Structure 1
Amino acid sequence: MTHDSMRRWQLLAIGLLIAWVAWLLGPVLMPFAIAAMLAYMGGPLTDRLVRLGMWRTLAVSIVFTVLLVLFVVALLVIIPLISRQVENLGDNLPRYYSWFQGTALPWLQHHLHLDTHLFDPDRLIDIVKSHIGSIGGVASAVLGKLSRSGMGIISWATNLVLIPVVAFYLMRDWDKMLAYIDRLLPRSIEPTVAYLARQSDEVLSAFVRGQLLVMLALGLFYGAALSLIGLSVGWLIGMVAGLLSFVPYLGFIIGFGAATIAVLVQYGDTTHLLLVVGAFLVGQLLEGYVLTPKLVGDKIGLHPVAVIFAVIAGGYIGGFLGILLALPAASVILVLLRYLVERYQHSELYTDPGAEDPVLEELEALEGADAAPADAPDSPTPAH
């Protein structure tokens, strides 16, 4: 085995070991991942204050205080709003149920030829009663697990306390940690890793900061538009649609479906339905032609199918933490794939023309001979 081959195998082994340790520690990495995202968002402002001559700990304290104040203000605004919207939703549930029984269900039964007793309340109650034993068993098992895992509540509370503490220290020592990691890298790969890190930083900054602004802007737009239309739960539907917009078309589908049902129940006329359709069409145009190009740009370059696959795969592999990190990880993987493609296009495997294939030449000659009579012009008839 050559020296280069041994070095590659060593680097591969180190990378697999790091990935394996991260997978093992996945359940405890949640607060650190969220703290890293907060530190990453506050890092540029901290660096700007440091460049102005401010002591880094003071700069971090100022940025951290600003982020904390913004978070508290957002909670003071959002929690009462969500509370009122949930109350409106609860007040409208009887109306939704009557609309489903009197309008939606007969339409479905007529067009889909469903059994008229399929959604009969008495039948559903009988089904629940027949399975009440198994439901009770499941409930007792769940309650038993919750009682045995009381430490889980303590763990969540600890994580909530850890997030701001870890974020503060990450923001303060971010440059030192990066410099330490750079010193640990093998000198042979340090330039390549530094280049990929810069590219990944551009992609992640475009995603993390830009996509969050897009989600917030869409949530405010949808919420304001649906409230102006007159929906009593307009803000709740709008904010949910905006927050889910990081997955292509998911926020639009869920928001539009919920708003359509709400407007049909509350008004039941074509005018308000068309207003809802117009609001979501304007929202899609705003997202596609204004918000995403201006705030996110084209640096990420992830296809919508790739985004959906990344979110599903992240949730399957790492649960909520996987969903949280799916798109940033996919963006970094995209940077690595672009680099590998460039390396491949400069390699001998791609640029070597190779030797002529005699069999291929013979087949091409036969195809040319077969096509020649059909392509050749008609020969003149000899004169007599």
Structure 2
Amino acid sequence: MALPVQQQAKYWGLSAAVFLLMLWLLGDVILPFLVGGAIAYFLDPLADRLQRAGMNRVAATATISVGMLLMAVLLVLAVIPTLISQLSALVNAAPDIFRQLQTFLTERFPQLSDETSTIRQTLLSIGETIKERGGELANTVIGSALGVINAVVFMVVVPVVSFYLLLDWDNMVAKVDSWIPRDHAPTVRRLARDIDRVLAGFVRGQISVCLVLGTFYSIALMLAGLQFGLIVGAIAGAITFIPYIGALVGGALAIGLALFQFWGDWFSIGLIAAIFAIGQFLEGNIITPRLVGNSVGLHPVWLLFALSAFGALFGFVGLLVAVPVAAALGVLLRFAFEQYKTSRLYQGLEAPPPDDEDPR
């Protein structure tokens, strides 16, 4: 006999509170384990496919791990140093870019030369801030990234955790399934399948979209001659998973830099704008529909709220768990609404008349 609803709500609410408390207290400690688990979840379908092709689980996991290691080495040797150098150069060049903007505006809008002009004073204050904080910002961005990752520990723990989780993924799923209360096992399994479908459709698909678009933007902008094309393309691709933000930030940054670098060469400026227009067309009409699909059920506004709330409460770790939690809550809320629509509270004491019967 199942427990009363009040007791079930108490136990599940206590579990949720313990989860949030652990996230609050152990955020930095569990970060490598969260990342390792996310990598294992992302790669599990590939391991299953290799198993169906004839490999055992150990061989499939080893093959995937070697492939990922080679990709990581390639990134470290060929891409990441260039990204860091371009990021530092971009931040250090910000004061000069701003001075050019100020000169450009002053020449074309002489009223800005009035020292009492509010716009002029605002531009001067922004310029002074950039001059004072430009180099500090570059060091802070790079230093904070290394601090969040906790370099050595992160690089050692994450591959080990992801390897063992990927190796034992199916066994862990079976073990968790054996812990489900028997009275609720069919319902919990159904909800778990729905959550997995949403996560598989969004997380795996969106990561693929970010990689494809980041690669496209970086290569296209570098071929177009944009000075900081690689870092701009990487930024635009990395934040594509945030609805609307990736295109706006990447496009504004690229076109703004193009205006300073190619001022007067309208063909080059138009080419930079066309690259982002083509990228958005490909994302909305080809890449996202194919890789993510239209049936994920994770609304952009709900995703933005989850990212904002969990990021503010739990920092970087909160951003990592925001999407899975948003997906799970979305599925649970839809299930609760389905239950409400079939409840006596919604339908009333009298059953609705059959479809073939005149309700009058």
Shorter chain as denominator, the TM-score bin is: 0.7 to 0.9
What is the distance in 2 between the residues matched to 1:282 and 1:214?
14
Q: 1:38 to 1:109 in 2, by over 3 A?
A: farther
- Report 1:71-90 matches (<5 A): 71-83=72-84, 85-86=86-87, 89=90
Greater Rg by CA? 1
Are the equivalent residues in 1 in contact too, given 2:303–2:323 (CA < 8 A)?
A: yes
Are the equivalent residues in 2 in contact too, given 1:95–1:265 (CA < 8 A)?
A: no
What is the distance in 2 between the residues matched to 1:280 and 1:164?
35
Q: 1:54 to 1:276 in 2, by over 3 A?
A: closer
Structure 1 residues 184-229: Cα deviation after superposition (integer angstroms, max 9, x where no partner): 2211111111111111111111122210111111112222232233
Matched, 1:49 2:45: no
**Residue equivalent to 2:155:** 160
Matched, 1:341 2:337: yes
Q: 1:161 to 1:179 in 2, by over 3 A?
A: same
Could you tell me which runs of 5 or more consecutive residues in structure 1 were left unpaired when the two chains were aligned.
Answer: 129-141, 147-151, 356-384
What is the Cα deviation at residue 97 of structure 1? Answer: 3.7
**Residue equivalent to 2:313:** 317
What is the distance in 2 between the residues matched to 1:44 and 1:35?
16
Q: Greater shift after overlay, 48-57 or 27-36? A: 48-57
What is the Cα deviation at residue 59 of structure 1? Answer: 2.1
What is the distance in 2 between the residues matched to 1:315 and 1:259?
26
Q: Superposition RMSD on alpha carbons, in Å?
A: 3.2
Amino acid across the alignment from 2:29: V
What is the distance in 1 between the residues matched to 2:17 and 2:51?
36
What is the Cα deviation at residue 20 of structure 1? Answer: 4.5
What is the Cα deviation at residue 17 of structure 1? Answer: 5.1
What is the distance in 2 between the residues matched to 1:84 and 1:14?
48
Matched, 1:280 2:281: no
Could you tell me which runs of 5 or more consecutive residues in structure 2 were left unpaired when the two chains were aligned.
Answer: 133-139, 352-360
- Report 1:159-198 matches (<5 A): 159-198=154-193
State TM-score, norm by structure 2.
Answer: 0.81
Identity score, percent: 36
Corresponding residue to 2:298 among 299, 302, 316: 302
Corresponding residue to 1:257 among 248, 252, 258: 252
**Residue equivalent to 1:22:** 22
What is the Cα deviation at residue 19 of structure 1? Answer: 2.3
What is the distance in 1 between the residues matched to 2:163 and 2:64?
9
What is the Cα deviation at residue 182 of structure 1? Answer: 1.6
**Residue equivalent to 2:69:** 68
What is the distance in 2 between the residues matched to 1:79 and 1:214?
20
Matched, 1:226 2:221: yes
Q: 1:182 to 1:14 in 2, by over 3 A?
A: farther
Are the equivalent residues in 2 in contact too, given 1:300–1:331 (CA < 8 A)?
A: no
What is the distance in 1 between the residues matched to 2:301 and 2:200?
22
Q: 1:235 to 1:124 in 2, by over 3 A?
A: closer
Are the equivalent residues in 2 in contact too, given 1:60–1:168 (CA < 8 A)?
A: yes
Matched, 1:99 2:100: yes
Corresponding residue to 1:246 among 238, 241, 244: 241
**Residue equivalent to 2:357:** none
SS of equivalent residue, structure 1 residue 319:
helix
Amino acid across the alignment from 2:291: L
What is the distance in 2 between the residues matched to 1:209 and 1:26?
23
SS of equivalent residue, structure 1 residue 73:
helix
